[in-house]
Structure 1
């Protein structure tokens, strides 16, 4: 499917169709990637729209030297990190206040049947630095290879493995102490 999308977006006359295929193929995965970072559905929904607008505007810059999905994920990842930085600055919040706000949204957004272990995991994730949480989400939830995460984040595989290891350790410590 990725090859078909790349072929369509490469030609001016089929670019719109190719973009529609791209959105159809990646929208749900990008939404959940973003949602795990920003927690709030409305924020995630807005961000996903902004991400695909940015993808559309930059389609002509895509070179097939990387995978299409890693290119889209890179844009989504950067937009998420920028959104979280702006949110912290806009509200002049210390990091622990933003964690509290996101944890409150997390608690209120879960169905009453929400699993307690999942809730603890989500709260533990909020304690992680944004980039570490992003790496954990991509590896654990999205089941990405470190090589793809490296391409998306522009970080070495060794640094990503270390970041993932530290995230797992912090999560274990949080779950065991709460």
Structure 2
């Protein structure tokens, strides 16, 4: 089967007889877009791969919880974003325990074989990485993915007003960071 309509896929996932085949299609259909969504939050390829795998494992375990009240893609993106944020929280605990991790993200990115940006792009990514988790997520979803605040609100379970405030604060912080590192 090729790409299947999201509603049809959601319906078939409730059928235990074809669940595994449909889930394999779901993984095939959404892997690339979820990977890039996760990568924009966690920054590094290996980390994004790990979070993507965790996302699909969590989705598989939670299939019975999917009631079809939201789109299947929204449900998957919510899981992916929450997994990415959980990963970042765990990383912060690890980095604070190993405080000699002072190499800048820009330097790490330019050394990453999967990063294809220049130094300016690396500084921008470093500025984004300096943001608190929620501000970074809102910025990435709204700026890069052009998601509406209402969609982000559904995914993150917060108000549109709070998201708008987070976004504008993030833009200000990024601008200040880039100016001071140019």
TM-score by length of 2: 0.86
Q: List 4+ stretches of structure 1 deviating above 2 A.
A: 90-94, 96-105, 110-117
Equivalent of 1:7, from 7, 11, 14? 11
Deviations 1:96-118, CA, capped at 9 Å, x for gaps: 97684544321211679633432
Equivalent of 1:72, from 70, 76, 93? 76
Structure having the higher helix fraction is 1
How many residues are matched?
A: 177
Q: Hey, what's the Cα distance between the residues in 2 that align with 1:9 and 1:47?
A: 22
Deviations 1:40-66, CA, capped at 9 Å, x for gaps: 211111111111011011011101111
Q: Hey, what's the Cα distance between the residues in 2 that align with 1:70 and 1:85?
A: 22
Range that drifts further, 114-123 or 13-22: 114-123
Equivalent of 1:44, from 43, 48, 51? 48
Equivalent of 1:83, from 79, 82, 87? 87
Equivalent of 1:18, from 12, 17, 22? 22
Structure 1: 5+ residue runs without aligned partners?
none
Q: Hey, what's the Cα distance between the residues in 1 that align with 2:78 and 2:165?
A: 20
Aligned to 1:138: 141
Change beyond 3 A, Cα 1:132–1:177: same
Structure 2: 5+ residue runs without aligned partners?
none
Equivalent of 2:31, from 8, 16, 27? 27
* TM-fit CA distance, 1:90: 2.6
State the Cα RMSD in Å: 2.3
